[in-house]
Structure 1
Amino acid sequence: MGPATAMNLGRLLTQTARRVPDAVALVWGEQRWSFAELDARVDCLCAALRARGIGKGDRILTHSRNGNAMFEMMWAAFKIGAVWVPTNFRLTPAEVGYLAETSRARALLRDRGFSAHADAIRAAGHCELVLAIGDAQGEDLDYESALAAATPPPPDHEADVEYGDPVWFFYTSGTTGRPKAAVLTHGQMAFVVTNHLADLFPGVTERDASLVLAPLSHGAGIHQLGQVARGARTVLLPTERFDVEEAWRLVEEHGVTNMFTVPTILTALVEHDAVDRYDHSSLKHVIYAGAPMYRADQKRALQKLGPCLVQYFGLGEVTGNITVLRPDQHSTEDDESFPLGSCGSARTGMDIAILGESGARLAPGQTGEICVRGPAVFAGYFENPEANEKAFRGSWFHTGDLGHLDARGFLTITGRASDMYISGGSNVYPREVEEAILTHPAVLECAVVGLPHPRWGESGVAAVVARPGHQVTEGAVLAHLNERLSRYKQPLRVVVWDALPKSGYGKIPKRLVQDRLREEGIGF
């Protein structure tokens, strides 16, 4: 497809700033920026990047907590035709170094306190340009100084792009191993934004406000694109800590109409007594995704918040665009006319199939792999033909999740083909954790599984076996992981066994590990 088939995604901000220049675009603590102000700052950032040789196709790594600079860098990357590469800010320097290596990033925006991350990336020969927010050191460029010194570009300066040009590397491990860069494109993301506006939060205008409760690096960042497209204000929590009281205060102050959450966040919001002390009647669309929600928690949320819950199922690779369960499809009653236990039906313009091992479609009610196709599916994993071949078998994208459709087309997820579990809304891939544990000199073998956790949804338990002649303890394993893995990836419990349960083929089925843990009464 040629250039005339795609708009530069950054034009969403340009257009809104012209249409409603004085509307509030972004709120962070005491600070406010109108759309005209935000757009002007983004344009100056574009000029600062271009002046230092960063342009179309270059990858810009962003390691930052939520804040105006992170939001601005996203839009600037889009406008200059570069590729935004956001990280989870909790990652270690080594983990971020791996993302820099695999994306071959040329520039880095880093938040204060993350100079060690910049050092690790520079040492590996990447990101010659480092923009630092607030604590620039050595060769770092101070973020605000760079903007202040820039000459604003002329109007309509955005790079020309084609439909398939990359706009965002959305890092995901898919089903196994270390993170892979899912390539999101300008054309695909224009569809995703349009679909979000149609299916998740219809009717949003500049009179609406959206509260951000999760990192902008992932689903929350995707959610905000639709808000900017329609001129709604984006409200950030003032600190990185998730403060429920402050969240409800902001809902009342700004008349918040929509927010993106994961089930653990939504449950925390509903169970806190602040929910009864602030006016949240403005809420129209409280979206939850990323993990199944327990029915009891769902009912409690409906009782407290009213008919505003929206569930969706989606992966980074399909950028949140697989199913939707609308507010009117939720109920506190266990009425069979409602699709109870379902994560919804296919999003507008998307197709879902349950495929068996032969690749043929299965009948309603039969369980198989959830596969999807349509304009929201990503362009593939960056420089990873092996993963692409596996993911795109038979003209479908294979999610790695298992489930079934009913006769009406409502999807129910029954399990994961992979062993991934979701802790506090973040995907944890046991293989990565197991590989880190196995670097301990006293560990012979190990298996990591997710078990239900009352606060985090699921948390990890590691079962380890010591090498002959060695001893290993829970404390030793956890200490060993401290420098190797982000906190959310570390198991909360470690048990030491004489041997791991094995199948007749010598494999270690995770189901058998979970069964034994339950038999021994190990859990949370």
Structure 2
Amino acid sequence: MSAARRRAVNLAHLLTTTARRLPARDALVRGSLRLTWRELDSRVSSVADALRARGIGRGDAVLVHSPNHVELVETMFAVWRVGAVFAPANFRLTPSEVAGLAELTRPSALVCHADYPEHADAVAGAVPLRGGTLWIGAEATIESALSGSAEPRDARGAEPHEPDEPVREGEHAWYFFTSGTSGRPKAVVLTHDQLGFVVNNHLCDLLPGLTADDAQIVVAPLSHGAGIHLLPQVARGAKTVLPTAARLDPAEIWRLVETERVTNAFTVPTILATLTQAPEAAQHDLSSLRHVVYAGAPMYREDQLRARRVLGDVLVQYYGLGEVTGNITVLPASEHDRPSPDGVEFGTCGYPRTGMQVSVQDDDGRELPTGQQGEICVAGPAVFPGYLRNDDANAASFRDGWFRTGDLGLVDEQGYLYVTGRASDMFISGGSNVYPREIEERLLRHPAVAEVAVVGVPDPKWGEIGVAVCVAADGDRPDDDELRTWLGGTLARYKLPKRFVWWDAIPKSGYGKVVKRTIRQQLTAAGAPS
């Protein structure tokens, strides 16, 4: 018996209901600008007017290129309000990279910050934009460009709220860009109903008790995980604080935490380490913080311990990929001292998120017993339906209904998951598998090593050898023999890096993740490391 697809809840309805319930409460703060929920909702409707005037509606993709900005948030909800698909690029990408995302998503319009005209030119040259380019930032806003007025609809005598377009289950809401290990961009399809589950799951597992009395600060790009973290804030009416600095500024972040009484934040391990190492962390009252959520990559134990010393027991870790919208495991603040099983040198990333199932499998898809390493696979309502226009990637990413993360891990007797590495990071030296994370964890315990990344590079004798790329803690660089001795008591000889290289910084993506593909390329371009 066939039936029409059921109605889903448009993500814009999160804002609609909160603006109705809490019209006068603060919604969004950036510098001297403070918007209430009613004001934000009205401004979103003005942007929705502008999009509809360009013929943008249900099912159209809207590519967005902007740093964190009030108008980026407005655009996000306006795109959903008209039933279109939000496709935000990381603002740190080059014009040609953004043009490649346009070729993948085939957008009907581009929303671009005024500071990035070269990106707009590249996109316009790559694909036809039926709705053209709409500018945000600086003096020109979307609504002023079309109506001659930058005032919200209610200030112009128009109805303050534009209705949310009806959507159905499975309809696309967000194209979440990820390059994975190949470097070729992929667009993860996130739907309205799937993201509705994610919002509830975040509230249940990451931010229990979140209310309109809470406030978050944004310290990572809204085009990625921080944008997902915004949604539960809107659902509960919690204020969002946007820093004004163009780059991460720990002094501003910690000042705003104190003055705005920030209670939660989403970040990634590298940003969290930078913030908690900054002297300003000790100069402000941070007692309002209740949940500092970190994800995106494993956090090294030493960095984690330092963050806890600075912030107290407020860290909440989750493990997840864009394809599962972060919803695989959670490690609450109260469990950060959980001991690891024998032979595992780093901590757990937690237990399965509510409503999700995790399975560690061998190469044939058989679930492995407790303590055995295999590929982490996941099932549940947070799993994406597939990549946009990429049948090969979809075929490779699913097996018997399970999403294959490409990460390696094991579970303990109580079902807690330990991520032991990325399958693509593993290299084979002299016929033996080497997993970089356990080497990195040990090297970071050396007082002279501030950061490290271990990669495998080709070698005529061993097939591949390990190279440890290190950043010095205080300018002091121990010699190779000292570091090998440091490692030798706890690591098998075949796992020891054959070379140690010292760089001023380790390459990171626009999302703050260490990019080992780039490290390998730089090592290759430089010739044999020394």
Which of 51, 74, 94 is the matching residue for 1:92? 94
1:399-434 deviation per Cα after TM superposition (whole angstroms, max 9, x unaligned): 011111111111111111124999xxxxx9x9xxxx
Equivalent in the alignment of 1:468? none
Q: Distance in 1 between matches of 2:219 and 2:27?
A: 17
Structure 1 counterpart SS, 2:15? helix
State the partner residue of 1:235: 241
Quick one: distance in 1 between partners of 2:74 and 2:378?
Answer: 32
Pairwise CA distance, 1:286: 0.5
Contact 1:213/1:261, CA 8 A, preserved across alignment: yes
Query: After alignment, is 282-291 or 145-154 more displaced?
Result: 145-154
Contact kept, 8 Å, 2:212 with 2:239, in 1: the verdict is: yes
**Is 1:368 matched with 2:374?**
yes
> Relative to 1, partners in 2 of residues 1:175 and 1:276: Cα closer, same or farther, differing over 3 Å?
same
Say if 1:447 and 1:173 are closer, same or farther in 2 by CA, change over 3 A: farther
Are 1:201 and 2:201 counterparts? no
Deviates more, 1:200-209 or 1:139-148: 139-148
2:133 alignment partner, one of 111, 130, 134: 130
Of 319, 324, 327 in structure 2, the residue corresponding to residue 318 of structure 1 is: 324
1:193·1:226 contact (CA, 8 Å) conserved in 2?
yes
Matches within 5 A, 1:376-395: 376-395=382-401
Q: 2:415 aligned with 1:413, yes or no?
A: no
TM-score relative to the length of structure 1: 0.79
> Hey, what does 1:397 align to over in structure 2?
403
Tell me the equivalent position of 1:504.
none
Q: CA deviation at 1:497?
A: 8.4
1:23-34 → structure 2 map (5 Å cutoff): 23-34=25-36
Q: 3-state DSSP class of the match of 2:376? A: strand
Q: Secondary structure at the match of 1:398?
A: strand
* In the alignment, structure 1 residue 356 sits paired with structure 2 residue 362: yes
Give the deviation of 1:326 after TM superposition.
0.2
The 3 A distance-change label for structure 1 pair 144 and 346 is: farther
What secondary structure sits across from 1:291 in the alignment? coil
The residue type paired with residue 120 of structure 2 is: A
- Identity, in percent, stands at 49
Map Cα deviations across residues 301-336 of structure 1 (whole Å, 9 max, x no partner): 1122111000011111000101100011013x9688
SS in 1 for 2:182: coil
2:331–2:350 contact (8 Å) kept in structure 1: yes
Distance verdict in 2 for CA 1:491–1:356, change over 3 Å: closer
Secondary structure of 1:403 counterpart: strand
Measured in 2, the distance between the counterparts of 1:225 and 1:302 equals: 26
Distance 1:234 1:297, change over 3 A: same
Whole-Å separation in 1 of the counterparts to 2:210 and 2:293: 14
The offset of 1:95, in angstroms, is 0.5
Instruction: Return the offset for 1:177.
Output: 3.4
Q: Deviations over 1:13-41 (max 9, x none)?
A: 00000010111000111111000000000
Q: Residue 419 of structure 1 contacts residue 449 of structure 1 at CA under 8 Å; is this kept in 2?
A: no
Shift of 1:127: 2.5
Q: Say which of 227, 230, 241 aligns to 1:224.
A: 230
Match of 2:163 in 1: 157
Q: Is the 2:71–2:137 contact (alpha carbons within 8 Å) kept by the matching residues of 1?
A: no
Distance 2:143 2:216 in 1: 33
Q: Deviation digits for residues 151-197 of structure 1, max 9, x if unmatched?
A: 85685721111110000000112342311110000000000000000
Distance in 2 between residues matched to 1:417 and 1:490, nearest whole Å: 17
Contact 1:263–1:292 (8 Å) recurs in 2: yes
The aligned counterpart of 1:459 is none
- CA gap of 1:146–1:344, structure 2 versus 1, over 3 A, is farther
Q: How many residues are aligned here?
A: 451
User: 1:243-282 to 2 correspondence within 5 Å?
Assistant: 243-282=249-288
Change (3 A) 1:280 1:145: farther
Q: What is the 5 A alignment of 1:178-197? A: 178-197=184-203
Q: Structure 1 segments of 4 or more deviating over 3 A? A: 1-5, 134-137, 139-156, 333-340, 419-422, 446-455, 487-499
SS at match of 1:366: coil
8 A Cα contact 2:86 2:175, kept in partner: yes
8 Å Cα contact 1:132-1:140 kept in structure 2:
no
Please give the secondary structure, in 2, of the residue aligned with 1:297. Answer: helix
Matched, 1:36 2:42: no
* Correspondence for 1:7: 9
Q: 2:52 aligns with which of 50, 53, 56?
A: 50
Task: Determine helix, strand or coil for the equivalent of 2:34.
Answer: strand
The structure-2 alpha-carbon separation of the partners of 1:127 and 1:341, relative to structure 1 and needing over 3 Å to count, comes to: same
1:452 and 1:345, CA in 2 relative to 1: closer, same or farther beyond 3 A? farther
CA distance 1:305–1:4, shift in 2 (3 Å): same
Residue aligning to 1:67: 69
CA distance in 1, matches of 2:352, 2:59: 33
Aligned pairs for 1:464-483 within 5 A = none
2:445 is aligned to none
CA spacing shift, 1:140–1:286, aligned 2, 3 Å: closer
Report the CA distance shift for 1:233/1:406 in structure 2 as closer, same or farther (over 3 A). Answer: same
CA contact (8 A) 2:62 2:85 kept: yes
For residues 189 and 149 of structure 1, what CA distance do their matches in structure 2 show?
Answer: 28
Secondary structure of 1:32 counterpart = strand
Distance 2:359 2:308 in 1: 30
* 1:301 partner SS: helix
- Give, as a single letter, the amino acid of the residue that structure 1 aligns with 2:67: R
